[in-house]
Every structure is written in structure tokens, then in C-alpha cells.
Amino acid sequence: MSTKLKTGKPNFGTVPVFLTAISTILGAVMFLRFGYAVGSVGFMGTLLIIIIGHMVTIPTAMALAEIATNQKVEGGGEYFIISRSFGVNIGASIGITLFLSRAISVAFYIIAFAETFDAIKPWIETTFGYVIYDNRLFSIPALFLLIWIMVSKGANLGMKALYFVVAILAVSLLFFFVGTTDYAQTFDQTHLFLTGDTDRSFFYVFAIIFPAFTGMTAGVGLSGDLEDPKKSIPLGTLAATITGMMIYIFIAYKLAISASPEDLLNDQLVMTQIALWGPIIPLGLAAATISSALGSMMVAPRILQAIGADKVVPNRKLNYWITKGAKHTKEPRNATLVTSVIALAFVVMGDINAVAEIISMFFMVTYGALCLISFLQHFAADPSYRPSFKSRWYLSLLGALMCLYLMFKINTVYAIAAIGLMVVLYSIIMSKSHTKKGMATIFQGVIHQFSRTLQVFLQKSDKDNQVEDWRPAILCLSQDSFKRYSALELMKWISYRYGFGTYIHFEKAYFSTEAKIKADDDLNKLIKITASTKTNVFLETLISPSNTGAIVQAIQQPGISGRPNNMMLFEYKKGEREWLADIIDNYNVLKTGGYDLCILATSDRGFGYKRDIHIWIHKADYDNANLMILMSYIILGHPDWKGGQIKIFATVTEEERLKEQENLIKLTSSGRLPISANNIRVLPLEEGKSRKFLINKHSVDADLTLVGFHEYKVSSKEGIDYFDGYDDIGNILFVNTLVSKFIK
């Protein structure tokens, strides 16, 4: 990615930024459509349009000033700022649409310029006897003249011409404000609230007027030619935005007090009737349209040149051709030619009204993106984001939301088309780009801050109801992550919706550079393995020279949910006793940490068809019973277990059989658990046959079997033998709880 767009020696100051922006703001719409707006919705309605429009433009100008003072702004204006904040892929998507908007804007202003000749058409007809019906006789030569100026003389002559046309614009506005009419002499101030007789809606009028406010970022396109962009962009842009807003308010008031609503609606150049010298208004209109066209003609090629410099176009030669400028000045001549062809195509069409709405949509997208960048940066807390000018996050958010809202209020079809085009461009650019920085990275900093805030809040929240509101926050420590995936699968199911899981791959070694590199490689492997499974498990690695040391380190891990971890899961393969022995030997460590304990004994069958979960309960096991039932319910909530069922088996004496069945049915029904009474079986213990015999017999086809155990079982002589003897069944989850869970 290019980080610097080579241009000639930057020598522009703040004034060119201001003049380019203000000349684009005070354009054709001001002369040709503002009277219609006041006549349609009245002075107060027009004032509301100005306010709403600037609820977009002022936050955008402030966001632009903020972002521009945080980085070195080079050629390309808004495109450079967006691409260096969001990445080239997103920046290019917005930049291409912005370039098209600016290029088509040239045609829009040239067509509007041609309308100024309506004032001299009667004179031409009277003097020469020639009737002109088609304004393209004026617009096409005017465009070619503009192209010649930009290609042959570049921005320097364009800027000199800009001073001249802005001077004419200022004089025409002065003559307009000092002029008066008979209507103004008798005007009643209460008539400020009058509106014309029109059936047009407020937002229809807004759609016509809004392009008048969209020029405030035009000066940013000169960024590559500015001597001090960090100073000139904020100062020039904000000054032009606020100046333009104040002028529009005064123009609306002057129109309202100087002409009747009917005259405002029916006379497109009603300002000529108000000005001290009427002919100055067509001259001002010509100056405004030419200055706006000049501004767009200077900015659009520079955007395209910057896009080419970033090698966005999937053709090396085309990128080079677009980027190439004049030999000494580096003026973007080739990009200017591309801009000229697009502008000429729309001038020849002659009717730009429908396209003008799409232009507004693309400007809205650009402004919304700039506001969104500023808003996100406020919350990302990125230490590298240190702008010397700071906006307010709520203003940036307002600007972004207003852009989206107004797009759909103005024209829903065009809004969808503009957004759709952006999505298509983004998809194409992402597929061809060498860098994959895109939408996934935009909100990363914000998510980190939001996650931290939530975790701190949850940690400080009331914990009195943690027993009743229990949910698993489970840690899994495994040495065999790449041999067997059963533990990772179980963690995935538990963490899918109701629980939180952290899976730790244990690298048994002394901490060293080599061990750290291997642990990082193993973590990347795990991330790739789980990427396709859409798991919510947080993955980590741990290095320790001893098993006990690893367990002690693991139980001190902070919870990812904001609450402390409350359960530990270990996994071993049936028949392999070494890791199981270490788990049992460290039972007191886990008890001290306040952890429930689950031990998964895996077999070659794995989890089978993921249909049947069997829970085994006995009289002395009621503390574990609720936890096993809740865990089974949580596992069953994962799509992998769709259609699965839970079966409960209890082993009691014959005398207690009926009472136990009744208690279990009552427990599951009161807890609203998906366990049918038909799936609850109470089995009498047979003399001479162990409980393990019944489990092997009845759960031989189970996909997961849950069996409870107690501290005295693992600390007694029975010890490790308690977990043996289940050779006929598949995976078994042994469960031990420190505190009985509540099923409500």
C-alpha cells in the first residue's frame, strides 16, 4: 500500500481550502432553488431544512477536522482520511463512489451554468433572430473550456480563477441583500410563517435543497497541495461550513420578506427582482456554478490519483497511468481526463436531476463514514489517536445517524442503490486486494473497550444470587488438544448459549523462548481448528514444567464473562492413568479454589450420534444431581444435539423406588426441563451386582453418560479405581459439585 502520494511542492494555505469549500456551498441551488424552498415550506420550514442539513454537515466538518489533525494528510482528501482510518479496502469503496459523485457534480454545475443564459436568450432572438432551445449549446463548450484550463494550467490557474469567481459571487450576494421591493415595504413579520400553495412534502423540498450544503469537504481534496494540512483543513472547512450556514439563513429571511410565496414558487430567478441591480444575479449564478465546477474539477482527479497510488485497481499499468501526473507539477492530468469523460457523458445527457439525488446519497455515505470514524475512535481509546482538534462523540454519532436517516427519507430506492453499490465495490476490492484489512477490524478497538467495561461492571455487580442464577464459567486444561477433540467439543456445547468457556492448552515445559514460540503456534492451530465451528470458547495456552503447577496457574485465570470461573474440566483417555492421577492428587487445590470439577473419560466411540444423554443418580448423590441435570440441559441446547433427549436413571433400594421416582418427576417438572416422565427410570440395586454393572448395562448405547462422585470417593483407598470399570459405554462425564445448584 502506498503511504505517500507524490505531488509537486505543496504551497497552498488555508484560504484556498475556505474558498473551494464556500464556493461549492454557495452554488447553483442557492440561486435557482432557494426561492422555491421558501415559497413551499415558508421561512420557518426553510430554516428547519438549514438546521437539519447542518446537523449532518457540522458534525462531519468537525469529524474531518479531528481526523485530519491526528495524521499526516496527503493527496486524496476524504479518501486518504477514510482509507488510513478504515483501511484501503473500505476507503477505496467509499473513495470510488466519492470520485464518481465529484465527477458527476462537474456536469451538474455546468448544466446549471448553462441556465444562466436564459436571461439573454430573448436578446439573442431579437438581435440575431435565432431561437435557442437546447442549453447544451452553452454547457458543452463551457465544459471543454474548463477541461482545457485544468489539463493545461492545473490547479494554480484554477485557484486564481476561483478568486475571481468568488469575488463576483460576493458582489452578487451584496447587491441581493441591499436590494428592496415594494413587497418588502409592506411586509408583515407574521407572514414569515406563511407557505405557498404547493402539495410538495417537506422532505421532497429538503432533497432539492440539501446539495447546497454538500460542498464543505471540497477543500479537503486539495490536501496534497497544502503546506500545512493539519492547520488549513480544520480552519478552512469549519469556517466555510459556518459561514455558509449563516449566509443561507440570511438569504432565506431576505427572500421571505422580499417576495410573495407565489412569486417565490413561480420565478426561478426571483433574486433578480430583489437585487439592487438585477443582472448581477445571473452573473453570480454563473460565478457560483463555475466556481463549484472548478472546485469539483480540482478535487475529483486528486481522489482518483490517490486511489491509483494505493494500487486499488486490479491492473498495475492502469494504476500507474491514473497516478501519473504532469512532469514538473505532478498535476493529475490523466485522472483529470477520466473525470472529464464522465462529466461530458452526463452533460450530453442534459438531464441531471435524477442523478443529482444519487450524488447526494454518495455524499451522505461519505459524510456518514467520516462521522462514524470519529465516533468509533472516541471509544476505541487508541493511544495513537491524538488529534489536536477534538470533536464530541455525540455530535459524530448524530451526524452518522442523520446521514442514514436522511438517505432513506429522501429516496429509499436511491439509498438502497447507493449502499448496494458500495457493498459490491467493497466485495470486488476485498477479493482482489493483497491486504485483508476490512470490516472485521473497524470495530476492534471499540469492542475491546466495551468488553472491558462490561466485565468490570459484572465483577462489581451484586453476587448474592449467584447460586440461584448459576451458569457455568468453565476452564478446561488439556495436554492432548491435538490428539483428541472431545474436551474441545464439550466446551463448545457448554459455551454455545448459556455458559462461558476458556480452553487452555497445557505445554509441559520450562518457560523459554522456544516453549513460548511453540505455545503461540499451538494457539494459532487451535484458533484455525475452531474457526469453522463457530465456537464461543476463548482459547489460551499455558506453559509449566509440572502438572500441579499448571493446575494452580489455571485456576487463577480471570473469568472472561466478568464473573469468576466456577468449574474445571479435565479430559483423559480411558485406560491412561497418569493425567487422571494428577487430577485426583490436586483435588484439594481445586476445592480451595472453589471450583466444581468435571472429568471427561473419553473412548474411541466419542460422542456417537449425539442423541442420548444419560444421567445416573443415587441416594447419596443429590448435590451432584442438579448440576448434572443442568449441564445436560445446557449441552442439549446446542444444534449438534438437535433432537436429542435426556434420560435419568436412579439406583435405590426396592423400598425407596416409588418415592424416588415421584421425587425425580417433581424435580424435573418444577424446573421446566425437557425430560419426559417416561425417560425417568428408578432401578433397584440387585444383590451381588454393583452400580457400575447397571450403568454398563443400561447406558451401553448412550452418547454421553454423566455420573456423580464425591470427595470421599477420590480420597479413599478406592481413589483412581472409582473411574475405572466403564469399558462397555462411550464417553463419561464425572461430575462433582461443591455447592448444590438450584433448579428453578
- Whole-number percent of the chain with pLDDT over 70: 84
Question: Residue 72's pLDDT is what?
Answer: 65
pLDDT over threshold 70, residue 440: no
In tens, the pLDDT along 213-262 reads: 877 776 665 656 677 777 788 888 888 889 999 999 999 999 999 998 88
Nearest residue to 574 via CA among 733, 375, 389: 733
Confidence bin at 177 (pLDDT 50/70/90)? very high
Q: What does the alpha-carbon distance between residue 509 and residue 526 come to, in Å, rounded to a whole number?
A: 19
Neighbours of 528 (CB within 10 A): 9
pLDDT over threshold 50, residue 378: yes
Question: Residue 674's pLDDT is what?
Answer: 64
Q: How far is residue 262 CA from its own chain's centroid?
A: 46
Q: What does the alpha-carbon distance between residue 694 and residue 215 come to, in Å, rounded to a whole number?
A: 82
Question: Residue 544's pLDDT is what?
Answer: 93
Q: Kindly state the cell numbers that stand for 85.
A: 482510518
The C-alpha cell 465516533 sits at 375
pLDDT over threshold 70, residue 75: no
In tens, the pLDDT along 329-344 reads: 667 888 888 998 988 8
For 431, the enclosing helix (H) or strand (E) is helix 412-432
Q: What does the alpha-carbon distance between residue 215 and residue 196 come to, in Å, rounded to a whole number?
A: 28
Q: What does the alpha-carbon distance between residue 94 and residue 367 come to, in Å, rounded to a whole number?
A: 10
pLDDT over threshold 70, residue 672: no
Instruction: Tell me the torsion sign for CA atoms 23, 29, 35, 40.
Output: negative
Q: Kindly state the cell numbers that stand for 319.
A: 494504476
In tens, the pLDDT along 383-416 reads: 667 777 788 889 999 999 999 898 888 888 888 8
Better-predicted residue by pLDDT, 226 or 728: 728
pLDDT over threshold 90, residue 684: no
Q: What does the alpha-carbon distance between residue 245 and residue 26 come to, in Å, rounded to a whole number?
A: 10
Q: What does the alpha-carbon distance between residue 404 and residue 330 come to, in Å, rounded to a whole number?
A: 37
Confidence bin at 7 (pLDDT 50/70/90)? very low
Q: Where are the alpha helices (DSSP H) in 33-181?
A: 34-68, 78-86, 88-114, 121-128, 136-148, 154-178
Q: What does the alpha-carbon distance between residue 269 and residue 305 come to, in Å, rounded to a whole number?
A: 38
Q: What is the pLDDT of the chain when averaged over all its residues?
A: 81
Question: Residue 328's pLDDT is what?
Answer: 64
Question: Residue 310's pLDDT is what?
Answer: 82
Phi/psi for 508 (5° steps) reads: -80, 105
Q: What does the alpha-carbon distance between residue 600 and residue 618 come to, in Å, rounded to a whole number?
A: 20
Question: Residue 699's pLDDT is what?
Answer: 94
Confidence bin at 281 (pLDDT 50/70/90)? confident
pLDDT over threshold 80, residue 36: yes
Least confident of 422-426, 448-452, 520-524, 728-732: 448-452
Give strand ranges (E) for 308-452.
none
- The full 3-state SS of 31-75, as one line of letters, equals HHCHHHHHHHHHHHHHHHHHHHHHHHHHHHHHHHHHHHCCCCCCC
Say what the alpha-carbon torsion angle 405, 409, 414, 420 is, to the nearest 10 degrees.
Answer: 30
Say what the alpha-carbon torsion angle 452, 456, 458, 461 is, to the nearest 10 degrees.
Answer: -160
Question: Residue 545's pLDDT is what?
Answer: 93
Q: What does the alpha-carbon distance between residue 492 and residue 470 come to, in Å, rounded to a whole number?
A: 18
In tens, the pLDDT along 523-547 reads: 999 998 888 777 889 999 999 999 9
Better-predicted residue by pLDDT, 491 or 415: 491
- The pTM for the full model equals 0.66
For 683, the enclosing helix (H) or strand (E) is strand 680-684
In tens, the pLDDT along 111-141 reads: 888 877 776 777 677 777 777 777 778 888 8
SS3 456: helix
pLDDT over threshold 90, residue 731: yes
pLDDT over threshold 60, residue 465: no
pLDDT over threshold 70, residue 76: no
What is the pairing mode between strands 704-708 and 473-478? unpaired
Q: What does the alpha-carbon distance between residue 634 and residue 627 come to, in Å, rounded to a whole number?
A: 10
Q: Kindly state the cell numbers that stand for 9.
A: 511542492
Long-range contacts of 376-383 (CB under 8 A, 24+ apart): 376/442, 376/443, 376/445, 376/446, 377/66, 377/67, 377/70, 377/85, 377/445, 379/445, 379/446, 379/449, 379/450, 380/444, 380/445, 380/446, 380/448, 380/449, 381/445, 381/449, 382/445
pLDDT over threshold 60, residue 5: no
Query: Could you tell me the domains of the chain?
Result: 14-441 (1.20.1740.10), 466-599 (3.40.50.620), 603-744 (3.40.50.620)
CB-based contact 107:352 (threshold 8 Å): yes
What is the pairing mode between strands 732-736 and 473-478? unpaired
For 396, the enclosing helix (H) or strand (E) is helix 393-410
- For 483, which DSSP code? T
Q: What is the largest CA-CA distance in the chain?
A: 126
Better-predicted residue by pLDDT, 326 or 396: 396
Say what the alpha-carbon torsion angle 237, 238, 244, 246 is, to the nearest 10 degrees.
Answer: -170
Q: What does the alpha-carbon distance between residue 487 and residue 335 come to, in Å, rounded to a whole number?
A: 59
Average pLDDT, integer, range 642-651: 90
Average pLDDT, integer, range 614-627: 83
Question: Residue 575's pLDDT is what?
Answer: 87
Q: For residue 175, count CB atoms less than 10 angstroms from its CB and return exposed for 0-12, middle for 13-18, buried for 19 or more.
A: buried
Neighbours of 328 (CB within 10 A): 7
Question: Residue 463's pLDDT is what?
Answer: 54
Question: Residue 334's pLDDT is what?
Answer: 86
Better-predicted residue by pLDDT, 461 or 271: 271
Question: Residue 514's pLDDT is what?
Answer: 93
End-to-end C-alpha distance for the chain, whole angstroms? 58
Q: What does the alpha-carbon distance between residue 493 and residue 697 come to, in Å, rounded to a whole number?
A: 27
